[in-house]
């Protein structure tokens, strides 16, 4: 290479991505989000009830049984065992 030859400094130059901005959002809530201030309700368990049935009745979605279970951990040890007469807290949808 002669003294007037200059190396092609663009030859191996990689694109710079250091100024890329990113963000995200979801229709699903984040874990541990505090419950909204809306009034919560309670539900008195009747004979023949189970958490899935209660969730289906209240939320229209049986999968919501887990939210009811989490909100009543202080009185429900086993989600399969609820007793008639139990007063369950129902988180708002």
Among 6, 26, 34, 73, indicate the residue that binds other proteins (CB under 8 A): 26
Closer of 62 and 89 to other proteins (Cβ):
62
- 29 scored as a contact of other proteins (CB under 8 A): yes
- 33 scored as a contact of other proteins (CB under 8 A): yes
- 71 scored as a contact of other proteins (CB under 8 A): no
Closer of 6 and 10 to other proteins (Cβ):
10
CA distance 27 to 41: 24
Q: Give the CA count within 13 Å in the CB-facing half-sphere of 36.
A: 7
* Cα three-residue angle 40-41-46, rounded to 5 degrees: 150
């Amino acid at each position: 290479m002669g003294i007037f030859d200059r190396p092609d400094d663009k030859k191996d130059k990689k694109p710079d991505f250091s100024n890329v901005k990113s963000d995200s959002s979801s229709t699903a809530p984040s874990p541990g989000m505090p419950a909204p201030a809306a009034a919560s309700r309670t539900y008195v368990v009747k004979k023949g009830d189970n958490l899935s049935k209660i969730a289906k009745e209240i939320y229209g979605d049986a999968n919501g049984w887990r939210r009811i279970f989490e909100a009543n951990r202080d009185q429900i040890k086993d989600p399969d065992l609820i007793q008639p007469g139990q007063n369950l807290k129902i988180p708002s949808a």
